[in-house]
Amino acid sequence: MSDLQTPEGGTPLVGPDPVYLQDPVLDATVRMVVELAAQVWVERERRITLETVLESRGLLTRQQLEAFKPTSVQTAALKEERNRFIEDVFKELRRIPVRQS
Amino acid sequence: MSSQPETMPALAQRADASYLDFVEGFREYILGKGADFEDRLNEELLAEEQRRGKKWQELEEIRAHVHGLPLGRLRDRLARTQQEMKWHTLKRSFEVQRQSLTAQLAHWDTRGPGRLELDPRFVYPPYVNVHFHLQPTGYYKDELSGYLYHYGTKVFFRGDNDHDELHAKLVARVPAPADGRVECILDLACSIGQSSTAFKRRFPSAEVTGVDYSAPMLRVAHRRAAVLGDDVTFAQRLVEDTGYADGQFDITFAFIVFHELPLRIIHETAREAARVTRKGGIFAIYDFTGTRDKSPFQRYHRWFDARHNGEPYSQDFCDCNLENILAENGFKVTAAPVGQRSGGAGYMSNWFATRE
């Protein structure tokens, strides 16, 4: 944890990756849990919106959703989204220092 | 539902808005009664006082005690995390729209109502080179800083800044000068100009000027005011050296400005406000409550916010006596806490000062 001091003094600022829980792995775990909660909410909000719109227009039934088979292009796009999701949640792993300072 | 035109910058995708909505709710949860960190930790600090048989004196004692509590450490982790999550997503969402957002600003730079006055010879003083609230690149180095700030403060104020609600409420509370004359108003460090437009709406015939050092903030301020149809001038000037005439303004205003200034500049700004505010005029300030009026946990939080949330000057501000500084510069002051929710009860006070 390095200190950053402004040219005019004041309280020294903490560096970019402060450790609060005495173990950087614990810090990363907490960050990942909160990130996961955010990602779950984003998906839930979208699903509720989508289902509401589709149902109100009579365009989709639950059975059709279950039976959906993506094309190869759709599969590639899904994989790209999946990778972005993994990066969003697990980018915290990169912030764990090899050695605790 | 507000009837005013939308000025909040659009996000790149719906998922970004959902994500930031989560962060806003999560922030409310950890700062408010959801996780109930503040009350529980403050009760523990008060109980520890009882056990020790003496009041907390030094901040270091409070800090050591909070850091010894797993709950205190977890609270700090979460407070930092929600801020990082907000900026990470906002930056990404605006980055993919950089070209269109930049073009949007350029489109409005020379259109009215209102006027944008940027100084091509402006030199940013070293003290402003801070990433306040962890905002990426700070307030002035990215041309999208104003947009980042606008959406960032929407999340920060948790429902009080979706349509300028907080600014309208605080501006409405500012007392007019006793003689009722309000022809010129100065909004110091106006950022994106939300208080400036609130003043224009409260005093439609007055000439309202907002000043700030940040060109990106001022460009958003001007665009925002023009979209709203409010005739306000936004000028790139320093709060401690505005360059306006002696006694030019009937009301001078500073909303959460002083805690982002080094102590030296606080004194200079008070002196400058005294110079440009006419006799009988009002200097109205909203800012963080002073240390002497804080609970033990609020004292801890001030230190945490200073060190871990990019507020290096805020501790010195809270430790200084603003009332005395204003009085030394020829103001008669009344000060009181602001009982509103944002930031938690007791975090903000007002100083309404009359120029003598």
pLDDT in tens, B46-66: 999 999 999 999 999 999 999
Nearest chain B CA: its distance from A63 CA (Å): 26
Examine the domain organization and report whether B180 and B279 are in the same domain. Answer: yes
Selected residues 28-87 of chain A with any CB under 8 Å from a CB in chain B = 30-31, 34-35, 37-39, 41-42, 45-46, 49
Q: How far apart are CA B239 and CA B274, in angstroms?
A: 12
Q: Write out the residue range of the structural domain in which residue B106 sits.
A: 14-110
Check residue B112 and give its pLDDT.
Answer: 92
Q: Which residues of chain B are within 8 Å of residue A2 when distances are taken between CB atoms?
A: none
Check residue A1 and give its pLDDT.
Answer: 44
Examine the domain organization and report whether B132 and B89 are in the same domain. Answer: no
Asked if residue B195 is part of any domain, the answer here is yes
pLDDT exceeds 70 at position B13:
yes
Name which of B320, B198, B200, B179 is nearest B255 in CA terms.
Answer: B198
Which residue in chain A is spatially nearest to B317 when comparing CA positions?
A10
Asked if residue B20 is part of any domain, the answer here is yes
Examine the domain organization and report whether B347 and B238 are in the same domain. Answer: yes
Examine the domain organization and report whether B133 and B74 are in the same domain. Answer: no
Which of B128 and A51 is assigned the larger pLDDT?
A: B128
pLDDT in tens, B107-129: 999 999 999 999 999 999 999 99
Examine the domain organization and report whether B143 and B268 are in the same domain. Answer: yes
Nearest chain A CA: its distance from B356 CA (Å): 31
Q: Average pLDDT, whole number, for chain B?
A: 94
Contact between chains at B312 and A6 (C-beta distance less than 8 A): yes
Examine the domain organization and report whether B104 and B133 are in the same domain. Answer: no
Check residue A100 and give its pLDDT.
Answer: 62
Asked if residue B49 is part of any domain, the answer here is yes
CA distances from B328 to B253, B266, B267, B293 (A): 18, 13, 10, 21
Examine the domain organization and report whether B53 and B93 are in the same domain. Answer: yes
Q: How many domains does chain B have?
A: 2
Contact between chains at B85 and A38 (C-beta distance less than 8 A): yes
Q: Nearest by CB to B308, which of A18, A37, A38?
A: A18
Contact between chains at A11 and B15 (C-beta distance less than 8 A): no
Contact between chains at B262 and A10 (C-beta distance less than 8 A): yes
Q: How confident is the model at residue B159 (pLDDT cuts 50, 70, 90)?
A: confident
Asked if residue B5 is part of any domain, the answer here is no
The answer to whether the CB of B23 falls within 8 A of the CB of B80 is: no
Q: In this structure, what token pair is assigned to residue A94?
A: 């990169």
Asked if residue B118 is part of any domain, the answer here is no
CATH number at residue B143: 3.40.50.150
Asked if residue B100 is part of any domain, the answer here is yes
Q: Which of B80, B110, B140 is the last residue of a domain?
A: B110
State percent of chain B over pLDDT 90: 84
Name which of B192, B252, B200 is nearest B231 in CA terms.
Answer: B200
pLDDT in tens, B229-285: 999 999 999 999 999 999 999 999 999 999 999 999 999 999 999 999 999 999 999
Count CB pairs under 8 A between chains A and B: 92
Nearest chain B CA: its distance from A77 CA (Å): 16
Q: Is the CB of A13 inside 8 Å of chain B's CB atoms?
A: yes
Contact between chains at B315 and A37 (C-beta distance less than 8 A): no
For chain B, give the number of residues: 356
Examine the domain organization and report whether B77 and B177 are in the same domain. Answer: no
Nearest chain B CA: its distance from A42 CA (Å): 5
Asked if residue B121 is part of any domain, the answer here is no
Which residue in chain B is spatially nearest to A46 when comparing CA positions?
B15
The phi-psi region of residue B280 (left if phi > 0; otherwise alpha if psi is between -120 and 50; otherwise beta) is: left
Q: How far apart are CA B125 and CA B141, in angstroms?
A: 13
pTM, 2 dp: 0.90
Q: Which of B75, B110, B145 is the last residue of a domain?
A: B110
Q: Which of B48, B83, B110 is the last residue of a domain?
A: B110
Examine the domain organization and report whether B139 and B194 are in the same domain. Answer: yes
Examine the domain organization and report whether B294 and B196 are in the same domain. Answer: yes
Nearest chain B CA: its distance from A45 CA (Å): 7
Q: What is the DSSP string of B138-149?
A: TTTSSTTHHHHH
Q: How far apart are CA B303 and CA B309, in angstroms?
A: 10
Q: Which residues of chain B are within 8 Å of residue A38 when distances are taken between CB atoms?
A: 19, 22-23, 26, 85
What integer is the mean pLDDT of B23-43? 89
Q: Which residues of chain A are within 8 Å of residue B15 when distances are taken between CB atoms?
A: 42, 46
